[in-house]
Amino acid sequence: MCHEDETFLNLLRDKTIELNCDLIVGNVDMSASLVWDEDCQITEYGVEKYKEIMSAPYKRLDNGNIEIYCDNYKLGEEFVMAAAGYIGVTEYEKIFGTDM
């Protein structure tokens, strides 16, 4: 089901969902999975940094993965690697506002 009127940011801010899935951005499978639950958050800095992805519509696929309708797959890769913790602690806390 495509959520054209709902952005990926809205999905991340929905505290009723838990995600443990792969993302597809710009028709490219991302190299890390996204694990997201009610304790996860993204700061305004993170929203701005990943604005293209956050403002994009998405589709939850039958296999549970999520396709984000954004052509910037490099930004998608940067986002999933950051969410997986493959960045410095200071930058992680600026983006996600929590300890790693």
For 30-85, the pLDDT digits (tens) are 999 999 999 999 999 999 999 999 999 999 999 999 999 999 999 999 999 999 99
**The model's pTM:** 0.90
What is the C-alpha to C-alpha distance for residues 66 and 83, in angstroms, rounded to an integer?
15
Phi and psi torsions of 18, nearest 5° = -125, 135
* Lookup: tokens for 22: 């792969």
What is the C-alpha to C-alpha distance for residues 86 and 78, in angstroms, rounded to an integer?
9
* Lookup: tokens for 12: 């991340």
15 pLDDT band, cuts 50/70/90, is confident
What is the C-alpha to C-alpha distance for residues 3 and 57, in angstroms, rounded to an integer?
6
User: Quick one: pLDDT at residue 99?
Assistant: 47
